[in-house]
């Protein structure tokens, strides 16, 4: 029985150490940006243009945009080369951050499920 307690205690310490290591990484995500980079063609303002043909219109572009949905609306930002690299980094960070949060949550679930009696050791 003592060996089981030692093993459980060691496993709890490992889980808490891993969680603390992951949590320490959370502050490094300052460029996080929730959104999706999409390509879209555009219709211009010229009255006579191939983009306005009724049959087989040829849209301008495609251009890249960042699509961001808030609680009230969907907003799009045109991305030039400089903005595209920043937006891509922000979206990548967001996805990494979500993965990190899920990993921390899974550890907390295991701690709560299997080691709840030892939580005072935190």
Reported as a single tens digit per residue, the pLDDT across 36-49 is 999 999 999 998 99
Distances (CA, A) of 36 to 28, 42, 58, 77, 94: 21, 18, 24, 11, 11
Beta bridge partners of 63: 40
Residue 121 has pLDDT above 80, yes or no: no
Query: Full-prediction pTM beyond 0.85?
Result: no
* pLDDT 10s digits, 20-33: 999 999 998 999 99
Does residue 62 have a cis bond before it (omega within 30 degrees)? yes
Q: Over the stretch 75-113, which tens digit does the pLDDT of each residue have? A: 999 999 999 999 999 999 999 999 999 999 999 999 888
């Amino acid at each position: 029985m003592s060996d089981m307690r030692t093993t459980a205690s060691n496993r709890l310490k490992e889980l808490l150490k891993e969680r603390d290591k992951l949590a320490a990484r959370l502050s490094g995500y300052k460029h996080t940006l929730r959104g999706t980079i999409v390509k879209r063609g555009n219709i211009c303002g010229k009255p006579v243009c191939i983009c306005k043909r009724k049959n087989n219109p040829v849209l301008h572009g495609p251009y890249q945009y960042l699509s961001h949905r808030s609680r009230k609306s969907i907003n799009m930002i045109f991305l030039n080369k400089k903005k595209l690299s920043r937006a891509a980094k922000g979206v990548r960070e967001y996805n990494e951050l979500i993965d990190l949060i899920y990993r921390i949550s899974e550890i907390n679930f295991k701690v709560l499920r299997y080691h709840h009696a030892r939580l005072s050791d935190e």
